[in-house]
Structure 1
Amino acid sequence: MIDISKNKIGGKASFEDYKSLGMSYPKNESRKRIQILIWFLVGAFLFLFLPWTQNIRSKGFVTALRPEQRPQTVHSIIAGRIEKWYVGEGDYVQKGDTVLLVSEIKDDYFDPQLLERTKLQVDAKMMAAKSYSEKVKSLEIQIGALRENNKLRREQAENRLQMAMLEVTSDSIKFEQAKVNFKIGEEQLGRAEKLYKEGLRSLTDFEQRQLRFQEVQANLIAAENKLLQSINARIAAQIELNAIDNDFRDRMAKATADMYESMSAQFDAEATATKLENQYANYEVRTGYRYILAPQDGYITRAIQVGIGETIKEGAEIISILPGNAQLAVEMFVEPVDFPLIRLGNKVRFIFDGWPAIVFSGWPQITNGTFGGVVHAIDNFAGPDGKYRILVVEDPEDKPWPDKLRIGSGADGIALLNDVPLWYELWRQLNGFPPDYYTSREKAENSKKK
């Protein structure tokens, strides 16, 4: 019975025969209220000693762990005109699949036989370089022959010079002998003339002596003439030897100059051929760039350039691709005041957009619908908004993240810190203190050291 009326009937009637009414009639109301209050206070006191997990709440979004697995745009390497599309938005492509075909719009590449003609130029220059190389080899052989020929000619000339020198020596000896004979003949002629004047010799003997003296004089002149001829022959042999050296130097200089000229032409042809080969390779690679290929496996999310016949510039964005097998991670942003509390390996709970969850941030054990993560990387510098970026990957010890989770989805992260009593957390919140920096294990180790 609800006691809301001022008219009391408790003293006017007995309720002993009405058991149900007696059971509902309040008795000792003040004592019962005191007991309820005491039990409530005891429960509240014990509740203060329940464990509470300190945490940091932060917003983020799903991304890929590795940079090459994040959404990217495909650019056109060359300027061109769109000729044909091979894919559409939402299609799944594999690495190397053709996405788009473009044609050239620069007049330097209009020639449909550009590669063939450039290849012919390369072959022609290579043949020219080869011919110059053969000419250089021929000149080297010619130079070797000139050296061998000069060696033989020099030996021959040196032999002639030696013979001429020996001839000069022989003729000089004969000339000296002729001079001695002339002196003796002159003396004999003088004695014959004296004897003839004294009448001791006949005129005939004197005349014979004169004839002999003339022969001796003639022999002297002939010996001197022969000596001079030998000297002239020696000088001619020396001149011939010098001429051989001069001729060899002239021929060697000409052959060497021709060889170096051929080598220069060969190197110039090889350089031109190399330049043409480089140009040919550039043309060949550029021809391949007319086909825009998928850089990796993924989904075509958006076509930035559209239509047929539309011209695009070099480096223009064409399509965006979302990798299909990316390792997911969550990119969180924390305040600078909370940044020192985050460490590699810290546990994080996530509430993903689209997945309902019942969250008790201080009691992750009874939280339902959240997914676990581990801090993988921490930036050491703040972003433009003054917050620090943290990458969190899937916790291998927890249940896996949803298969339908996609890059760009929102995530509400709860970074788990120390386990403390509830009263301590309330006291910390009332005083505005930050969460504990050290873990429980570090606190225990510090206590042992003290």
Structure 2
Amino acid sequence: MLNISRNNVEKKVSFEGFKSLVMSEPTDQSKKRVRVLLWFMLGTVLFIFLPWTQNVRSNGYVTALRPDQRPQTVHSIIAGRIEKWYVSEGDYVSKGDTILLISEIKDDYFDPQLLERTQLQVDAKVLSAKSYEQKVKAQQIQIDALRANNILRKEQATNRLRMAELKVTSDSIRFEQAKVNYSIGEQQLVRAEELLEKGLRSLTDFETRKLRFQEVQANLIASENNLLSSRNELIAAQIELNAIDNDFRDRMAKAESEMYSAMSSQFDSEAAATKLSNQFTNYEFRAGFRHILAPQDGYITQAIQVGIGETIKEGAQILSILPADAQLAVEMFVEPVDLPLLRPGNKVRFIFDGWPAIVFSGWPQLSNGTFGGKVVAIDNFAGPNNKYRVLVVEDPEEDPWPYALKIGSGADGIALLNDVPIWYEIWRQLNGFPADYYTRKEKLANKNNK
């Protein structure tokens, strides 16, 4: 019954026999449910106004911050054959420790006395270069002597030329004097002959005059001959002076040619000595490369080349080594849509594999078992997985990372962004809007308000 009439029949009629009607009547349990529902709605309204820390979650793994502290492979610089191992996997090695010994497999380096014999060749070439150097110095001394001798010879030839010129002048004067004497003698002979014809002179006087004339004539011829001889000597002196220069140039050309030839041989010997020295140094370094040394302190993790007598090529990977005392970092990858939200200095929480944790991603203060980090580097290009790599180091303001944490361990990273109400985060997620940009100024302001 609907019980809408003013005539109340509850007290007149018993409803206990009508089960469906009894179930529809209000009871105390229904009122309790209503109160619970109201309290739940009130709690929900209060809950959506609670603060919520926006975050970007991504997986990564532990690595080293510095490239030289990351696991590396040790290569063989030369080709060879494995002769002896000095370490085993898991051993700790210091920088410079011998890892293994290899022997040569190329016939150019089989000689056990290769370095000594190469050194002998170097010494021989050095001595050869010094010998040519001494020869060059001797040729230079000879050239200097030729120059000095040429100066003296030219002075001597110049003096001879001057003497020849003076002799030509003297003989020409004598020749002129002989011509004058000849003319006078000829006139005297004519007058003597006239006097003889007139009977004023005797025949003896005429013959004497004639003999004197012949002497004058002979003196003229001798003076002319001496003049011509002096002129020939002058020409010879000029030729000798010119010949001295020509001879000097010939000797100088020959001496300089020999000097330059010796210099060329000297330079060739020095070049050969330098080449042999370089070759000796290469041999010496190559001998050192037979011992494979540890590049830094670390642990031997895996032997790639194994056995005794196995041959390896140049640049072949021999083993891998894990550097000791590396500064750990986490390499995590984020989606391109989340990249603008991250900046160097952002806070990140990590869950490392092997360390249990209770995580409330929106309330990092309530999380337990997580470790803090700080972003130090973000790549400017996407990797092969079409994600951006973010490098995170230990946060000095947080608890230190576990001591037993090793490179290669997995890490679940939660990059913390801005603090917003829960209702805003729900509204943002439903509408697909991006998270708010994290700013250090806002974070500091929030801390000061608290």
Same fold (TM over 0.5): yes
1:31-78 CA deviation, whole Å, 9 max, x = no partner? 555444433333222221211111100010011111111101111111
Query: Structure 1 residues 121, 51: CA separation in 2 closer, same or farther (over 3 Å shift)?
Result: same
Please give the alpha-carbon distance, in whole angstroms, between the structure 2 residues aligned to 1:33 and 1:96: 78
- Following superposition, the deviation at residue 403 of structure 1 comes to 1.1
| Pairing 1:330-409 to 2, within 5 Å after superposition | 330-409=330-409
Q: Is the 8 A contact 2:95 2:296 kept in 1?
A: yes
Partners of 2:373 and 2:179 lie apart in 1 by: 129
In structure 2, C-alpha distance between the alignment counterparts of 1:370 and 1:316, rounded to whole Å: 42
Distance 2:332 2:44 in 1: 36
Shift of 1:294: 0.4
**Residue aligning to 1:81:** 81
Shift of 1:29: 5.3
Task: Give the match for residue 93 of structure 1.
Answer: 93
The answer on whether the counterparts of 1:304 and 1:320 sit within 8 Å (CA) in structure 2 is yes
Matches within 5 A, 1:97-176: 97-176=97-176
Decide whether the 8 Å contact of 2:351 with 2:412 is kept in 1. Answer: yes
Q: Which residue of 2 aligns with 1:419?
A: 419
User: Structure 1 residue 199: deviation in Å?
Assistant: 3.6
Displacement of 1:442: 7.3
CA distance in 2 between partners of 1:377 and 1:198 (Å): 149
Contact 1:305 1:318 in 2 (8 A): yes
Which residues in structure 2 correspond to 1:4-403 (within 5 Å)? 32-403=32-403
- Once the two structures are TM-superposed, the CA of residue 443 in structure 1 deviates from its matched residue by 12
List per-residue Cα deviations over 1:232-257 (Å, max 9, x = no partner). 21122222222322222222222212
- Percentage identity across paired residues of the two chains: 76
**1:93–1:443 CA distance, 2 compared to 1 (3 A):** closer
Amino acid at match of 2:170: S
SS in 2 for 1:337: helix
- The structure-2 alpha-carbon separation of the partners of 1:440 and 1:311, relative to structure 1 and needing over 3 Å to count, comes to closer
Separation (CA, whole Å) in 2 of partners of 1:225 and 1:217: 12
Q: For residues 309 and 373 of structure 1, what CA distance do their matches in structure 2 show?
A: 48
Q: Does 1:437 align with 2:437?
A: yes
Q: Is the 8 A contact 1:73 1:321 kept in 2?
A: yes
CA distance in 2: counterparts of 1:396 and 1:440, whole angstroms:
17
Unaligned runs of 5+ residues in structure 1 are 1-5, 9-26, 446-450
Aligned-pair CA distance for 1:373: 1.2
Equivalent residues of 2:77, 2:289 under 8 A apart: yes
Q: Find the aligned partners of 1:98 and 1:64 in 2 and give their Cα distance.
A: 25
Partner of 2:254, secondary structure, is: helix
Q: Which runs of 5+ in 2 are unaligned?
A: 1-14, 18-26, 446-450
Q: Does the 8 Å contact 1:418/1:440 carry over to 2? A: no
Q: Distance in 1 between matches of 2:429 and 2:35?
A: 31
Contact 2:418/2:443 (8 A) holds in 1: no
Is the Cα–Cα contact under 8 Å of residues 118 and 276 in structure 1 kept in the other structure? yes
**Aligned residue type for 1:88:** S
C-alpha distance in 1 between matches for 2:150 and 2:181 = 45
Residue deviations 1:382-440 (CA, integer Å, cap 9, x gap): 11111111111111222211111111000011111111111100100111111113538
Q: Which amino acid aligns with 2:226?
A: K
For the residues of structure 2 that align with 1:275 and 1:7, how far apart are their CA atoms? 121
Residues 178 and 220, structure 1, Cα contact 8 Å, conserved in 2: yes
**Equivalent-residue separation in structure 1 for 2:35 and 2:89 (angstroms):** 70
* TM-score scaled by length of structure 2: 0.89
RMSD across aligned positions (CA): 2.3
Shift in Å, 1:134: 1.0
> C-alpha separation between the residues in 2 aligned to 1:420 and 1:132?
89
Normalising to structure 1: TM-score of the pair? 0.89
Give the superposition deviation at 1:345: 1.4
How many residues align? The count is 423
Query: For the Cα contact (< 8 Å) 2:89–2:300, is it kept in 1?
Result: yes
